[in-house]
Amino acid sequence: MNNPLLVPFDTAPFSKIKNEHFSPAIKHFIKETKSEIDNITHNNQNPTFNNTIVALDNSGKELDRVSSIFFNLNSAETNDEIQKIAQEVSPLLSDFKNDLLLNENLFKRVKQVYDHRGSLLLNEEQKMLLEKQYKGFSRNGANLSNIDQETLREIDSQLSQLKLSFGENVLAETNDFQMQITDKEELSGLPEGVIEMAAQTAKEKELEGWVFTLDYPSYVPFVTYADHRELRKKITIAFGKRAFKNNEFDNQATILEIVKLRYKRAQLLGYKSHAHFVLEERMAKTPEKVFDFLNELLEKAKPAAKNEFDQLKAFANELDGLKKLEKWDGAYYAEKLKQKLFDLDDEQLKPYFKLDNVTEGVFYIAHKLYDLNFKEVFDIDKYHEDIKTYRVTDKNNHLIALFYADFHPRSGKRGGAWMTSFKPQYKNEVLNVRPHISNVCNFTKPTESKPSLLSFNEVTTLFHEFGHGLHGMLANTTYKGLSGTNVSWDFVELPSQVLENWCYEKEALELFAKHYKTGEVIPMELIEKIKTSATFHEGMQTLRQLSFGLLDMAWHGNDPSEVNDVKEFESQSFSSTQLYPDVKENCMSTAFSHIFQGGYSSGYYSYKWAEVLDADAFAYFKENGIFNKEIASKFKDTVLSQGGTLDPLDLYVKFRGKKPNPEALLKRAGLMK
């Protein structure tokens, strides 16, 4: 009982947990959950909704909690030891999941309840839980022969390890690169704050001068502002060839193995491809519908993107006599053109977006919309000193959630931004158990002379992840399997993307966009510039997103058996969306963590899909006022609190009163008048 994970706890006891506690705890709770499953299967009574379906939903709570704590640390605060433990426990968890889904007696009981569902007096949420559980078995091998089930187990075990290896390789390659500059002239064009941050990084690494890394807060400003073209080229190529160097961290073989195993798995289960398997349970339903959706947007966006690219090329030629625009020139000249067209540059905006103010701003917006209150508390354990913890309450001071904010990059943290949960919401006989939600991002760190000042892109990222956070915090369902973000992946981005819209509205910006030195509210002229520049290069941005969605579908919507060259396959997939000349040393797929490590395989299109929903949903707010309480309550009651209790389109129609209109997105993007 010296293991803090084996005694009951409410908030995760981070300060007491040692790495060696995880493996024994996960093994212990796998055993305990198996015992809970045995109690269901050995129940002598006839299967009922309560003794089988609810009992199954209630099983494994401790295992889920310990696993979620461990895997978030593996993403946000990892080290060699944690990565070794991940390689050890992932196959165990994969085997356990298969033991569960291939448990013949358990499936018989679930199937018996499912077959009699017409005579049961179930509400909508109960019907959905039953449907989800039945499909969880039937779609994951319960109807296969014993030999095929063994093959499935083998595939799943291999996939769990391959996904981990993929992520470890990307992190190792990201951490491996650093660009040291000792000549001050080579910093020309870079904003003062970026230079100061690079000096601080050099100091931390005990090096002279300035150090730039492949972490976004370092990499993105460098390629956007540095006048030194050769250095922009150097860091761009380094970023683009992560895990594509034929070294120990190369991901090419890993990718080919992953896609071939996913295809084999889908075939085993009776599906044409991995995408056919995945999409059956998404709003899109079929790969054909996804391809139609992506290609329809491509048709609208490509002419605009081509015009924007030609304009950018002409501008670079006019400004610097540049004859050929390369990938390391794109962000640099786009920023210069944006400054020329709108007299707006991100450095003008940054002083108004101090991280603390933006955080308070998003909290206040959540208060105005949903009556939530956020109070920083200091009695909750955390896994790193950078993290802030908050108690979230409603207008009656009832606990709604605990919220963890982890906002700065460090060597043990993977890139990007995400939301996770340390404890789910669900209801039992006595309590509405409230969730513990975390947002993890990689924003510019404070320096000795400046607080953390965000670029406008980082502001929208914070709002995006907080939108996911609200989906978790406001969850109000009976069953944990349907709670919060347990929704189809092409619906899960609606709460996150819709909240980004408030970043562009005067009424919202004036609440938090205040100069960090003077406290002056962001001037109206800057707000107007933000709004008018919102669709700047929207064609190119849309094309970029579509290229990722099409690459994902190319990997997963077809038979990959004959694919042997990752780079060549990727180039073919990009042919319809390519604007910049190819860089032979670079490969997107080898660091495409969303689809090869995260859960977005056959689902990257969902960002664009959800944009259709979010543009249509926000149009409803705009018509009635962006802080309209009635519309906000409707959104909370039909979308944010309902998790996966209904078909997502039904939830959306309940909110909006009609199906989403794709024209709202095209109009907002300036791709349609």
Mind telling me the catalytic residues?
465
Sort 630 into a burial class: Cβ within 10 Å, 0-12 / 13-18 / 19+: exposed
Phi and psi at 242, nearest 5°, equal -60, 130
Coil, helix or strand for 423?
strand
Instruction: For residues 446 and 541, give the distance between their C-alpha atoms in angstroms, rounded to a whole number.
Output: 29
* Residue 253 Cα to chain centre, angstroms: 25
Coil, helix or strand for 432?
strand
In one-letter notation, the amino acid at residue 541 is Q
DSSP 332-343: HHHHHHHHHHHS
In one-letter notation, the amino acid at residue 201 is T
Q: Residue 246 is encoded by which pair of tokens?
A: 């034929």
Alpha carbon distances (Å) from 566 to 202, 560, 644:
35, 11, 36
Contact predicate 621/642, CB 8 Å: no
Instruction: For residues 251 and 63, give the distance between their C-alpha atoms in angstroms, rounded to a whole number.
Output: 30
Contact predicate 496/464, CB 8 Å: yes
Sort 246 into a burial class: Cβ within 10 Å, 0-12 / 13-18 / 19+: exposed
Nearest C-alpha neighbor of 67 from the set 85, 79, 84, 55: 85
Question: Which helix (H) or strand (E) segment is 629 a member of?
Answer: helix 629-635
Instruction: For residues 151 and 154, give the distance between their C-alpha atoms in angstroms, rounded to a whole number.
Output: 5
Q: Is the dihedral of CA 464, 469, 475, 480 positive or negative?
A: positive
Q: Write the CB contacts of 365 (distance below 8 Å, at least 6 apart in sequence).
A: 499, 502, 508, 511
Coil, helix or strand for 373?
strand
Question: Which helix (H) or strand (E) segment is 436 a member of?
Answer: strand 436-440
Alpha carbon distances (Å) from 389 to 65, 402, 405, 419:
18, 7, 6, 14
DSSP 267-332: HHTT-SSHHHHHHTTSSS-SHHHHHHHHHHHHHHHHHHHHHHHHHHHHHHHHHH--SS--HHHHHH
Packed helices 355-370 and 456-473: angle between N→C axes, nearest 10 degrees: 40
Alpha carbon distances (Å) from 222 to 73, 393, 460, 482, 605:
29, 41, 20, 43, 29
* Residue 392 Cα to chain centre, angstroms: 22
